[in-house]
Amino acid sequence: MGDLQGNPNYSNVGGSAAAKESYSKALQQAEALRAKNPKDIQTRLDIARVNMRVGDLSEYTDQAEALKSYRQAQVSLKSLVSPDPAVKKSLMTVFERIGTVQLQLGDTSSALNSFQRDLQIAQELFDADRNDPRAHRRVAMAYDKLGETLANTGAVPEGLEKLNAARSIYAKLAASSPQSPARADVATEDMVIGEVHYKTGKMGDAAESYGSALKAFENLVAEDPKNTQYKRGLYDTRIRLANVLYKLGKRQQARYFTEDALALLKPMVDAPGDEIEIFYYCDFLLTTPFRDLQAPALARDYAEQLVSTGGKNPDKLDLLARAYDASGDRTRAVQTEKEALALLPPNSTSNSRTDFEKNLAKFLARAERQQPK
């Protein structure tokens, strides 16, 4: 019931308080059962799973609290000496969740260790049944997490090696059927690899990876025009490829892909649905290299809507601060960026904190220049 009510990692109806209450009751019931039969593996597994769900509720709002719940689940699972694959699968998942939260808290070294354990367990499960495509896909997902983290910490060759390993697995799974959903995984992995090349200044390699992703998403959207995930991948890839082509001096091609992305994105922004499209659209209006397509005032209006209707979180507030700055409202830009920083985990050294602090410094400098002499 808690998953349906408000777990952010599952489809839900948005009631996080009700979800927390449901999980609390489930945990009490499981603990009572364990007290009667301390050696029952299923009861102890249930306790670990509920702790994971409780951690999910805090993953995006209170990472320290989420980590505490995930750690409790980890302890419970590690104490189980059982050949049951369900125990290993849960332990694999909890390591992935722990690593994700550790990244958000800026503890990259610990995150890498968690993702390595995630990969190790995923490989063990696949080795136990090499005909299980879901287990093989889970290995690819673990390679992806580990590879992207390595690349973002400066270990680019090693990171790309892991990312390409993930892509190879996805490609093998995709080749098993002309309609395989793994085709989207291949395209997404190409985007991740392209982003690594982009961040390291290898624009030619980035363009190649984004180009591969683009072709795949175009085919997927042509087959299933109503699939939001496919359309999201398509407009995102077009924007990323356009930015690379612009840096390569291919302005006409960049403009073409930019306008194509807008043609797909704008109707999604105006239709009822996920706020992700609004976020992407605002960011585009602020960052596109084509000045005639920039619209800071419109971005500000949409960003204010995001914050007022969807609740405050650091990324939304940072977006709103950038919109205020681009619109010339330096005072509100500074104030809003400070709010975004205040919502980040204390003492964290995440990429978000670094980016937000850089933005705040820029806004403060511009506000000071606006002061009358």
Count Cβ atoms within 10 A of the Cβ of residue 321 and give its class: 0-12 exposed, 13-18 middle, 19 or more buried. buried
pLDDT in tens, 8-61: 454 333 445 566 666 666 666 656 655 666 666 677 777 777 888 888 887 766
pLDDT in tens, 57-83: 877 667 788 888 898 888 888 887 667
Say if residue 145's pLDDT is above 50: yes
Contacts 24+ apart (CB under 8 A), 31-34: none
The confidence band for 242, taking pLDDT boundaries of 50, 70 and 90, is very high
- pLDDT, residue 231, reads 96
pLDDT in tens, 265-277: 999 998 877 788 9
Query: For residue 313, which of 280, 346, 286, 336 has the smallest C-alpha distance?
Result: 336
Mean pLDDT of 96-125: 93
Least confident of 134-148, 232-246, 340-354: 340-354
Q: Which domains does the chain have, with CATH numbers?
A: 1-96 (no CATH), 129-271 (1.25.40.10), 272-373 (1.25.40.10)
- pLDDT, residue 3, reads 39
Percent of the chain with pLDDT over 90: 63
Residue 260 DSSP symbol? H
- pLDDT, residue 350, reads 75
- pLDDT, residue 97, reads 94
- pLDDT, residue 12, reads 36
pTM for the model: 0.84
| Higher local confidence (pLDDT), 246 or 74 | 246
Contacts 24+ apart (CB under 8 A), 196-200: 196/148, 196/151, 196/156, 196/159, 196/160, 196/163, 198/240, 198/243, 198/244, 199/151, 199/152, 200/156
Under the phi-then-psi rule, with left for phi > 0, alpha for psi from -120 to 50, and beta for the rest, what region is 14?
Answer: left
**Residue 130 structure tokens:** 């090499």
> Alpha-carbon distance 275 to 308, whole Å?
12
- pLDDT, residue 14, reads 43
| Higher local confidence (pLDDT), 303 or 353 | 303
**Measured over all CA atoms, what is the biggest interatomic distance in the chain, rounded to whole angstroms?**
76
Say if residue 289's pLDDT is above 60: yes
Query: For residue 44, which of 23, 30, 54, 55 has the smallest C-alpha distance?
Result: 30
CA dihedral 189, 193, 195, 201 (to 10 degrees): -170
- Considering the chain, what is the average pLDDT of its residues? 87
Say if residue 361's pLDDT is above 60: yes
Number of H helices, E strands in the chain: 17, 0
